[in-house]
Structure 1
Amino acid sequence: MAVERITANVTRPAVLAAIAEYDEIGQKAFLTKYGYKPARTYRLWHEGKAYDSKAITGAAFGYLPGNPEPLRYNEFSGGQIYVVPVLEKLGFSFDVPEGFEEKTKNPLWTREQVILALDLYVKHNGRDPGPNHPDVLEVSALLRQMATEAGLTTYRNPPGVVMKMMNFRSVDPVFTSKGGKGLDGASKLDKAIWAEFYGKPLELAIAAEAIREGTFANMDEETLDDVQSYQAKEGKVSYRYHRTLERDRKVVALRKGAALKQHGKLECEGCGFDFATTYGSRGHGFIEAHHTNPVHAMQEGDVTTADDLALLCSNCHRMVHKVKPWMTLDALRAIVRKSPEH
């Protein structure tokens, strides 16, 4: 019976065999043979050497009894979901050996990193979501990308992200008023960012979105696969598709920021629905952006500005796109006004 083609079926002897082949033919030949790219974030360490973890896992599958075909690059996502837990369970490590600590010591947190951590803290209402929560894994991936862009070889792992979140408890009056103290590691920057955004969840959500989108734009395909697996939700269109068809998503953040400054809230331009009013903190900063200049009608070189976007709730956005040609905003508003509920 053929073994199911999942990373969980890889065994320690198979991984060791793949490592041995990697050592014998070298990284470049190994990656070329199996069709993988170098790991930029998750490096497997074995006997003082670093290995490309996703490539090792895929190749190891081919060393299982019966010699099945190795797992191809596009058959599974790498990283924290399908590689790290599998290899750690088999006794392998992703911890940098002691002799390399000086090179990989975490630098101080930056403003952008702290904003992402605070946004996560607010979204979870000050609760500890745990290091394996998809939101924590996503932020960890974003911080790794930032480290890579800065030329650093280290990153904020999921437990580190949770620890930073919990630092905000020490300055959160909702938490301290009940006698809690939280972790005592809140830095001057943590306190400054808290003071800047305290009581302004929408501004915080939009600032965090702008940072996310700027970071997403520079991600390699493997890291994007990781983030997509963290964020996977039914009906969610892949970011890669949006990146190709919807240009620079930072423009969306600018459009939201302008609407917030003008109206003090983000409401649908078709029906007036406000996600934050209905869904509370879960809805802060959320609303969909509709391109009034249809993506399919744009030509190479066309640029989207904030004025090209309309902010719509999910229902209105669906109705606009339901039939071609797309409905104009004026036509949408006319239909809404005739609705008995309005």
Structure 2
Amino acid sequence: MSFPSYKEIEIPLLLNIYKKGGKVSSSSCYEPLAKIFNLTNEETMRLLSDGTNRPQWNNMVQWARKVLVDYKYLHNAKKSGNGVWELTELGIKKAEALAAKIDINYPDDVSDTFFEGAVRQINVNKYERSKTARDKCIDHYGHKCSVCDMDFENIYGEIGLDFIHVHHITPISKIGKLYELDPVKDLRPICPNCHSMLHRRTPPFTIEELKKLMR
């Protein structure tokens, strides 16, 4: 996995700070963002070539933070304090607008042609996935997990009604341009536990592989 560009880090960083209450320590951002971009431990520990013994990944996140300061989305260190990254009022408004469009689990509607943009996966999400495509997938397969057959409504009653994650058979992070999504062919309903297990490996396990691992 190659490092994302500086530009690709900006929005995930902004949303990460927003979802943690708008004020975080700088050190708390590196690992969550690395997971978003599926970086390995080796990649996150890789040092810059300038002899300073600084991790390249931390440096890239810090540069993205600097850009957000330039955008007036984050306070500068003089205002927030050293080692603290805090959203400005403008940054909060920007993050709120983005959060309304980018849902980590169930992103926004797109047209019925189901074109989905993806250069890198931002959290199970962090991208322009289609809620319409999600609904089409569930209409076809139902709300039962495709791996373990769990049905949340059967177990939790009313509060579990209609609850399920949707898994992309081909990770969005592997797709570098617009593609036409087939909700039945490309998506599957998966419970959160199995969804996490599918992504315990890069590339993710297939549904059939995970079924064989179950005891």
> For the superposition of Structure 1 and Structure 2, which TM-score range results when normalised by the shorter chain?
0.3 to 0.5
Give the TM-score taking structure 1 as reference length: 0.30
**What TM-score results when the alignment is normalised by the length of structure 2?**
0.45
Q: Which has the larger radius of gyration?
A: 1
Higher helix share: 1
Higher relative contact order (CA 8 A, sep 6+): 2
